[in-house]
Amino acid sequence: MLRSCLARLRTLGALRGPRGGARPPATDTGPALRLFSSEEVILKDYSVPNPSWSKDLRLLYDQYMKKCEDGSWKRLPSYRDVAHLDSKLIKEEQMPQARIFIRSYEDGLGFEFVMFHNDVEKKTVCLFQGGPYLQGLSGWLHGGAMATMIDITSGMAASIGERIVTANLNIDFKRPVPLYSVVVINSQLYKAEGRKLFVSCDVRSVDGKTLYAEATSLFVKLDPEKSST
């Protein structure tokens, strides 16, 4: 659905104010940026190792960080909150509670992941470890959690630079994913037609031998004028 990859990064640029620059001003479309007492949590980049990461996840992370050294791949930072600069939809007093879904859990309990993007190849790879709060049937990852990660990884392959929405998400689930295990989500933008962006995706075990899911998705670029409201 609605997402804005670069918008998040841009907003984060603004959020860096307290560390080295000026705070963003109030805008015509919403209240001034209010930073909360948990400012550091909001500013934290969650796409780095924490103690809950398994050995598999750390090893893969190191491998992809190596690929980043020549600039062909880039690690994508990920945050819990974007400070709600553009929403008029929900009551002000409820706003500070809001969290980005995929970063709404404490470390290790939910979605542990890091994404890497290759802009030339139009590929995004997500290294994902599902924690105990993502359970479906006992011991297995919930299909909705898998769908969420496929959606977000495919969305990154479709567009790092623009506001897009998911128009269609079509997933074939091949095998259930064991809870706590690490999977590799590979997504690729394979066609662009006007505002339409077509992405393919698969989910595999760390050794690549087990195929857990395959998916295709369609994203649509938003009109910048309309999407701001």
**Is 28 exposed, middle or buried (CB count within 10 Å of its CB: 0-12, 13-18, 19+)?**
exposed
In angstroms, what is the minimal distance from the CB of 21 to a second copy? 21
In angstroms, what is the minimal distance from the CB of 76 to a second copy? 16
Stretch that binds a second copy, among 2-10, 37-45, 119-127, 185-193 (CB under 8 A): 2-10
In angstroms, what is the minimal distance from the CB of 93 to a second copy? 11
Sequential DSSP letters for 26-72: PBTTBPPP---TTHHHHH---SS--TT--HHHHHHHHHHHHHGGGSS
Residues 29-58 that bind a second copy (CB under 8 A): none
End-to-end, the C-alpha distance of the chain in Å comes to 15
The nearer residue to a second copy, 37 or 94, going by C-beta atoms, is 94
The nearer residue to a second copy, 2 or 120, going by C-beta atoms, is 2
Stretch that binds a second copy, among 16-24, 112-120, 130-138, 186-194 (CB under 8 A): 130-138
Stretch that binds a second copy, among 13-21, 68-76, 126-134, 191-199 (CB under 8 A): 126-134
Residue 151 is among the residues annotated as catalytic for this protein? yes
Question: How many whole angstroms separate alpha carbon 181 and alpha carbon 150?
Answer: 16
In angstroms, what is the minimal distance from the CB of 109 to a second copy? 7
Catalytic entry in 81, 151, 202, 223:
151
Instruction: Say which residues have a Cβ less than 8 Å from residue 210's Cβ, sequence separation at least 6.
Output: 175, 204
Instruction: Considering only CA atoms, give the Rg of the chain.
Output: 18
List residues with catalytic annotation. 151
